[in-house]
Structure 1
Amino acid sequence: MPLYSFEGKSPKVDPSAWIAPTATLIGDVTVGADASVWYGAVIRADFGPVVIGAGANVQDNTVIHVNANGCEVGENATIGHLCVVHDCVIGAQALIGNGATIQDGAVIGERALVAAGAMVGPGTQIPPEVVAMGVPAKRQVPLEGTSKVWVDHNATVYQHLARRHATGIEEV
């Protein structure tokens, strides 16, 4: 897995975390226990720290970058495929849908779901346990039904899948 030190700061990865061999971590990155960072993801912590909480997953081709404030991805949170997450806070067990963009200073509440393709603008606060939709993400509805099922179970599904990939992939 490509891990790079930048100006004396190196990624710290818990031994139980799984980092895909094509993911790239640069600088002041911390990855917690049972977390996973998937294929093609780039986490670049050159201006400030990035913390990926225990059990969280950062899926394929997502980019996480920071300014001086840094970025925190809460425990058991999911950052879906092809997301851009920049200098913000993602609450515990929140789910960021595929292709969503979260901009500087945004705060996503615990167990909130940001819909696929949504854009959360700078400084926006998304309350806990809602679904935020749109560009910009202003429409919010209660977390229920299928959306709640995704939030309830996605982290566990990805923790199990990461263990399968840790032992089941081989280069051919």
Structure 2
Amino acid sequence: MVCIEFEGKRPTVHPEAFVAPTATLIGDVTVERGASVWYGAVLRADICTIVVREGANVQDNSVLHVAPGETLVIGKDATVGHGCVVHCREVGERALVGNGSTLLDQAVVGPRTLVAAGSVVTPGTELPGGMVAAGIPCRPIKPIEGTSSEFWVEHNPSYYQDLAQRHRDGAKEI
């Protein structure tokens, strides 16, 4: 992993977290116990604060940043899918942001909400908890209960926590 101190602020990574060797953490970043930050991800907290809560995962090639002086929180057991741009205020506990989505300034994704792949959550949007949301602009479509999307919200955190452990123990640069 690449950890960069910026103006006296340096990343903090819990010893039981997994941060891939090609991930980059800059400035005021905290990665809590059991969380994972995957290959090619960039968390740039040079002018802000980024917190990846316990058990959350930020997948390959995602970029996290936020406006000056603000804090971005990726909630406990939340998932940020592959190739996302996350420039919002919060991704709630156990929420899932689908691959290639963009979350813009001051947006909030509620707990247990699934943002469909490729969605754009526009500035200031607050998606309520327990929903499936999709589109450009992203809007709530239906409650997540009883949908196929509920499977991903419920099972993705433990899957990625296990996979992170396997990478921590078994991935070797060759």
Specify if TM > 0.5.
yes
1:48 maps to which residue?
Answer: 48
Q: Is the 8 A contact 2:35 2:54 kept in 1?
A: yes
2:96 maps to which residue?
Answer: 95
Q: SS at 1:159's partner residue?
A: helix
CA–CA distance in structure 1, aligned partners of residues 9 and 140 of structure 2: 39
1:133 maps to which residue?
Answer: 134
CA–CA distance in structure 1, aligned partners of residues 73 and 143 of structure 2: 24
Please state how far the C-alpha of 1:139 moved relative to its aligned partner.
4.4
Q: SS at 2:137's partner residue?
A: coil
Q: SS at 2:28's partner residue?
A: strand
Matched, 1:111 2:98: no
Distance 1:145 1:87, change over 3 A: closer
2:160 maps to which residue?
Answer: 158
Structure 2 unaligned segments of length 5 or more: list them: none
Number of corresponding residues: 172
Give CA-to-partner distance per residue, 1:21-44, whole Å, 9 cap, x none: 000000000001000000000000
Distance 1:47 1:87, change over 3 A: farther
Which amino acid in 1 is paired with 2:164? A
Scaled by the length of structure 1, the TM-score of the pair is: 0.98
Name whichever of 140-149 and 59-68 sits farther off. 140-149
CA–CA distance in structure 2, aligned partners of residues 108 and 129 of structure 1: 10
Q: SS at 2:30's partner residue?
A: strand
CA–CA distance in structure 1, aligned partners of residues 66 and 138 of structure 2: 21
Structure 1 unaligned segments of length 5 or more: list them: none
Matched, 1:149 2:136: no
CA–CA distance in structure 2, aligned partners of residues 160 and 7 of structure 1: 35
Scaled by the length of structure 2, the TM-score of the pair is: 0.97
